[in-house]
Amino acid sequence: MTTFPGEANTSATTNQALQHPHMEVSSSNAPAIMARDLVRVFGQKMAVNHLNLTVQRGEFYGFLGPNGAGKSTTIKMMVGLLRPTSGSVWVGGVDVWKDPIRAHSLMGVLPEVLNIYERLSGREFLVFAGHMYGIPAGDIRRRAEDLLQVLTLIDDADKLIVDYSVGMRKKIALAAALIHRPEVIFLDEPFEGIDPISSRVIRDILRELTQRGTTVFFSSHIMEVVERLCTRVGIINQGTLVAEGTLQELRERASGEEKDATLEDLFLTIVGARSEHQNLSWLE
Amino acid sequence: MLVIHPDKIRWLFWLRWKLFLRGFTREKSRIISTIFMVVFGFPLFAGIALVTYIAYRFLPAPANAEILFLVLTVVYLLWMALPLLEFTVNEGLDVSKLLLFPLTRSELMVSLLFSTLLDIPMLGLILVFIAVVAGWASSLPVALLTLVAVLIFYMQVVGISQLVLAALMSTLQSRRFRDLSIILIALFSMSCYLIQQLLLRGIGTGDFVTNIERARFSLYLQWTPPGMTASAIQQASLGNWGASFAWLGVSLVTAVLVLYLWARVLERSLSTPEVGGAVRVRQRKASRAAAVEAAAVATATRPRVAGGGILEHSGFTQVFIIAIKEWKYFWRDPQLKAMLLSSLYIVIIFLVGPFLNPGDSFNSLGFLSFSAPLAVFFSVFTLSYNTLGMERQSLTTLFLFPVKPLRILLGKNLAVAVIGIVELLILSLASAALSHGWPLVLPVLAMGLAGIGVVIGCGNVSSVFLPQRMRQMQRGFQATGSSSGNAGCIRGLMSFLMLGVSLVVLSPVIVALFFPLYFHIRWVWVFSIPAALLYGIVFHQLVTWLVAPRMLARAPEILEITTRE
């Protein structure tokens, strides 16, 4: 049983959970991800500014924002790699910073910068990861082979990861993040550097996993993918969560936009980006 | 056709100059290594220049000419090899980055030729060349001819290094070559002591001048490019101007030939698609439905916690798997392999040292038996004092796994302990065989084991509280400077401090071994050695047990230090 802290600074984006600040939530009923008053300061810069966010189980949550908005910083704090200046994060009802080992057993992480063991082969890395998650040896072998097969890495499974292409690295890192069947998967720019075929395979796997109750939290710059996959979207700008909701909800909130505005249009409106054309007359 | 736009050359030189300067402003380590090079490298080259100048001037002919042949040949070979080893750290030599721009072959070549003037080792080379000109300037004509010969030789040296570089471009970009070069440089750096000892012995025996004259290197070297330059200078000093000009002409033709070949190879590399380092990816035609089905199967089994036997429950499997990973890394990662080799080198030096200096009482064979634990102490310290930093970027992945920190430390400790024990066994048995000190084998082994426990325990403390950043994959001579750590002088001092602390903590073990020996009461070993062994084991277990929770608590701070690039 985990008790959540007192009511945080509410904003337009605060959600249901915030309205019941002292509720006790069991791990099984707790939201998949819950961040409360999350702050991270780097020197004079507030990279993440009192961020409150709740993702329910089985959701496919897209986390968007321009470069330097604080996406990766937020994800790092959520997965226990970067200590927040203040605030708390729960994954599956477990406080990431109080019980990191238990929290890590519930999550799979695909970081933006892949820091995997390059001097192991793909197969060795998956077996290693399986053991680290405490999966029985027989299951590790089977799951590793299945994942290698699905992610079309089986032919290169015995090649060292250092010799893999960017896309192959992403796929092997994703396989390692999935091998223990996590409850929550954090993906930071999972489709960057991935070819369309692999991208499709990964998308299908993720969609399938969410249908089976796994929660996916991912950041991406590719609006089409987010639009196609996500059940809910959060937009962060300058460290603050400026909008959150389903695509339809975002459309309704963004006044002045057409009803069929794309996520890209909404995103640009929300973050205040203007399409200013420079005077490049010399190109003519 | 020779098309060179001076403006482009100027901007290419500007680029090289900026890269040269930025190297200092962006990388503090480079400033330190440059200061180190100026403080130690400059006197070294100046010394070489002075010694060779004296040799040219004052050794009798033909010994002075033989020295010239040797010096120019060594310079030639060095300049062929050095750019290869520093390829990835010297952006100015990487032509592939200039391929996007409309530059002619000649422009690229000229810019590269001038760019080499901004390489720090070139300053040393200029000193050596000045010594050649000054040493052979017996008259104005000879001085002029020597100057011209040296300038042509400079073109040859730069040309051949660039030719080798261009010809091996794809190989240089391959991962295997990068790995190999790191290990080769480490081996070269380590073997300096042995080479120095062997060279001193070789030169020290007999009459040096007679030996040099008798060897007649020039007979063979005169047909090589550096030999041609040396022959031109030698013949000019003897007054054989015809032969001198002939050799000079051949030298010039060789230089032009090298430059031409360089141009051709460069041209080929410009027009050939880059394939180095590419990885063949085979796409299987698996249907989407099958893929999703397999993914579902892969993730269908829910249990997350091991349901296996006693070993799995006790966490030994995780400890063992981490140890196996460590061993694989020691073997496959060139940086770690270089560290492992340097630790083995310590052992070798302890073993070979007494034979290189047989007169030295400190290195007597009697000392050899007791040096085994000491050598293993340094060796194990090298591998264990920054065990988390040695993970480099991968530490992030390790910290994301739900593994108890105690198991991580024990796994890493097991890997290093096994290496230390193997070294200890080899060294103890070898030293006993060489010094006939078989009665000392068991005490030495026991002490060594206790020492390994203490050193690894101290290593766990320093790894968690004083982690150091170890830079990822550099090649060339700069790699040796960053192989163990790259976090500034303060951290270096802290490591040194940790070495001192380890020695202090180790002192009871040392006392338990040497006290009974010194006072001729060896029977005390019956008690002192098991006690020391127990001390080592208890110390390691206690320290590791205390440190492990701190590792978990400090994980973000450790990551911030060790994974920042």
Residue B537: the pLDDT is 94
User: Is A147–B295 a contact, with Cβ atoms under 8 angstroms apart?
Assistant: yes
Contact A239, A71 (CB under 8 A): no
The one-letter amino acid at A46: M
Of A81, A120, A134, the CB nearest to B328: A120
Q: Which residues of B fall within a CB distance of 8 Å from A179?
A: 298
Q: How far apart are CA B119 and CA B477, in angstroms?
A: 13
| ipTM > 0.95 (yes/no) | no
Residue A257: the pLDDT is 54
Judge whether A170 is closer than 8 Å to chain B, CB to CB. Answer: no
Sign of CA dihedral B368, B370, B374, B380: positive
Of A82, A128, A149, the CB nearest to B321: A128
Helices and strands: H and E segment counts in chain B: 26, 0
Q: What is the pLDDT of residues B112-140, one digit of tens each?
A: 777 777 777 777 888 999 999 999 988 89
Query: Mean pLDDT in chain A?
Result: 83
User: Is A115–B395 a contact, with Cβ atoms under 8 angstroms apart?
Assistant: yes
Residue B362 in this model has a pLDDT that exceeds 90: no
In SS3 terms, B250-272 reads as HHHHHHHHHHHHHHHHHHHHHHC
Q: How far apart are CA B245 and CA B236, in angstroms?
A: 8
**Domains of chain A and any CATH numbers:** 25-271 (3.40.50.300)
Mean pLDDT, range A270-282, rounded to an integer: 68
Residue B521: the pLDDT is 86
Residue B72 in this model has a pLDDT that exceeds 80: yes
Query: Mean pLDDT in chain B?
Result: 78
The residue that leads in pLDDT, A184 or B350, is A184
User: Is A115–B297 a contact, with Cβ atoms under 8 angstroms apart?
Assistant: no
Residue A12 in this model has a pLDDT that exceeds 60: no
Q: Which residues of A fall within a CB distance of 8 Å from B301?
A: 139, 143, 181
The residue that leads in pLDDT, B197 or A185, is A185
Q: How many CB atoms lie within 10 A of CB A166?
A: 13
Judge whether B394 is closer than 8 Å to chain A, CB to CB. Answer: yes
Q: How far apart are CA B74 and CA B56, in angstroms?
A: 16
Mean pLDDT, range A221-248, rounded to an integer: 89
Give residues 120 to 139 of A whose Cβ lies within 8 Å of B.
120, 124, 127-129, 131-137, 139
Residue among B396, B552, B564 with most chain A CBs within 10 A, to mutate: B396
Q: Which residues of A fall within a CB distance of 8 Å from B294?
A: 146, 149-150
User: Is A162–B175 a contact, with Cβ atoms under 8 angstroms apart?
Assistant: yes
Residue B514's pLDDT band (cuts 50, 70, 90): confident
The alpha carbon of residue A271 is apart from the nearest alpha carbon of chain B, in Å, by 30
Residue A38: the pLDDT is 95
Residue B61 CB partners (closer than 8 Å, separation 6+) = B237, B238
Residue B329's pLDDT band (cuts 50, 70, 90): very high
Q: Which residues of B fall within a CB distance of 8 Å from A102?
A: 402
Of B299, B394, B397, the CB nearest to A209: B299
Residue B200's pLDDT band (cuts 50, 70, 90): low
Q: Which residues of A fall within a CB distance of 8 Å from B321?
A: 127-128, 131-132
Residue A259's pLDDT band (cuts 50, 70, 90): low
Residue among A72, A113, A117, A145 with most chain B CBs within 10 A, to mutate: A117
Residue B536's pLDDT band (cuts 50, 70, 90): very high
Q: How far apart are CA A112 and CA B108, in angstroms?
A: 37
Residue A277 in this model has a pLDDT that exceeds 60: no
Residue B325 in this model has a pLDDT that exceeds 90: yes
Q: Considering chain B, what percentage of its residues have pLDDT values greater than 90?
A: 27
User: Is B394–A178 a contact, with Cβ atoms under 8 angstroms apart?
Assistant: no
Q: How far apart are CA B28 and CA A78, in angstroms?
A: 33
Residue A274's pLDDT band (cuts 50, 70, 90): low
Residue A17 in this model has a pLDDT that exceeds 50: no
Residue B280's pLDDT band (cuts 50, 70, 90): very low
Of B296, B398, B400, the CB nearest to A109: B400
Beta bridge partners of A89: A35
Contact B565, B479 (CB under 8 A): no
Q: What is the pLDDT of residues B201-241, one digit of tens each?
A: 655 555 666 776 676 778 888 889 999 999 999 999 998 99
Q: What is the pLDDT of residues B40-49, one digit of tens each?
A: 778 888 898 9
The residue that leads in pLDDT, A226 or B364, is A226
Residue B464 in this model has a pLDDT that exceeds 70: yes
Of A139, A152, A197, the CB nearest to B301: A139
The alpha carbon of residue A258 is apart from the nearest alpha carbon of chain B, in Å, by 35
The residue that leads in pLDDT, B194 or B520, is B520
Mean pLDDT, range A73-95, rounded to an integer: 94
Q: Which residues of A fall within a CB distance of 8 Å from B404?
A: 101
The one-letter amino acid at B38: V
Residue B171 in this model has a pLDDT that exceeds 80: no
Judge whether A119 is closer than 8 Å to chain B, CB to CB. Answer: yes
User: Is B283–A152 a contact, with Cβ atoms under 8 angstroms apart?
Assistant: yes
Mean pLDDT, range B324-346, rounded to an integer: 86
Mean pLDDT, range B391-418, rounded to an integer: 93
Judge whether A158 is closer than 8 Å to chain B, CB to CB. Answer: no
Q: Of A209, A257, A29, which is closest to residue A243 (Cα–Cα)? A: A257
Residue B310 in this model has a pLDDT that exceeds 80: no
Lowest mean per-residue pLDDT among A125-139, B14-28, B452-466: B14-28
Q: What is the pLDDT of residues A101-117, one digit of tens each?
A: 999 999 999 988 888 89
Q: Which helix (H) or strand (E) holds A39?
A: strand A33-42
Q: Which residues of A fall within a CB distance of 8 Å from B393?
A: 113, 115
Residue B364: the pLDDT is 54
Inter-chain Cβ pairs, chain A and chain B, closer than 8 A: 154
Q: Of A81, A79, A95, A92, which is closest to residue A36 (Cα–Cα)? A: A95
Judge whether A194 is closer than 8 Å to chain B, CB to CB. Answer: no
The alpha carbon of residue A82 is apart from the nearest alpha carbon of chain B, in Å, by 5
Q: How far apart are CA A175 and CA A154, in angstroms?
A: 12
Query: Which chain B residue is nearest to residue A84, measuring alpha carbons?
Result: B556
Give residues 89 to 108 of A whose Cβ lies within 8 Å of B.
100-105
Q: Which residues of A fall within a CB distance of 8 Å from B317?
A: 131, 137
Residue B183 in this model has a pLDDT that exceeds 60: yes
Residue B110 in this model has a pLDDT that exceeds 70: yes
Residue B413 in this model has a pLDDT that exceeds 80: yes
Give residues 36 to 65 of A whose Cβ lies within 8 Å of B.
none
Q: How far apart are CA A116 and CA A129, in angstroms?
A: 10
Mean pLDDT, range B336-354, rounded to an integer: 77
Q: What is the pLDDT of residues A20-47, one digit of tens each?
A: 333 334 356 789 999 999 999 998 889 9
Mean pLDDT, range B304-331, rounded to an integer: 75
The alpha carbon of residue A188 is apart from the nearest alpha carbon of chain B, in Å, by 14
Residue B330 in this model has a pLDDT that exceeds 60: yes
Burial of A195 (0-12, 13-18, 19+ CB in 10 A): middle
Residue B359: the pLDDT is 57
Residue B141 in this model has a pLDDT that exceeds 60: yes
Structure tokens given for B290:
């099958």
Residue B469: the pLDDT is 84
User: Is A119–B329 a contact, with Cβ atoms under 8 angstroms apart?
Assistant: yes
Residue A189 in this model has a pLDDT that exceeds 50: yes
Query: Which chain B residue is nearest to residue A115, measuring alpha carbons?
Result: B394
Q: Of B263, B232, B253, which is closest to residue B95 (Cα–Cα)? A: B263
Residue B3: the pLDDT is 76
Residue A160 in this model has a pLDDT that exceeds 50: yes
Residue B193: the pLDDT is 67
The one-letter amino acid at B268: R
Query: Which chain B residue is nearest to residue A124, measuring alpha carbons?
Result: B325
Long-range contacts of B5-13 (CB under 8 A, 24+ apart): B5/B107, B8/B103, B8/B107, B8/B111, B9/B107, B9/B110, B9/B111, B9/B114, B12/B98, B12/B103, B12/B107, B12/B108, B12/B111, B12/B115, B13/B111, B13/B114, B13/B115
Mean pLDDT, range B300-323, rounded to an integer: 63
User: Is A149–B294 a contact, with Cβ atoms under 8 angstroms apart?
Assistant: yes
Contact A121, A29 (CB under 8 A): no
- Model confidence, pTM: 0.73
Contact A238, A49 (CB under 8 A): yes
Contact B111, B9 (CB under 8 A): yes
Query: Which chain B residue is nearest to residue A128, measuring alpha carbons?
Result: B321
Residue A4: the pLDDT is 35
The alpha carbon of residue B316 is apart from the nearest alpha carbon of chain A, in Å, by 11
Q: Which residues of A fall within a CB distance of 8 Å from B332?
A: 119, 160
Query: Which chain B residue is nearest to residue A103, measuring alpha carbons?
Result: B402
In SS3 terms, B482-508 reads as CCCCCCHHHHHHHHHHHHHHHHHHHHH
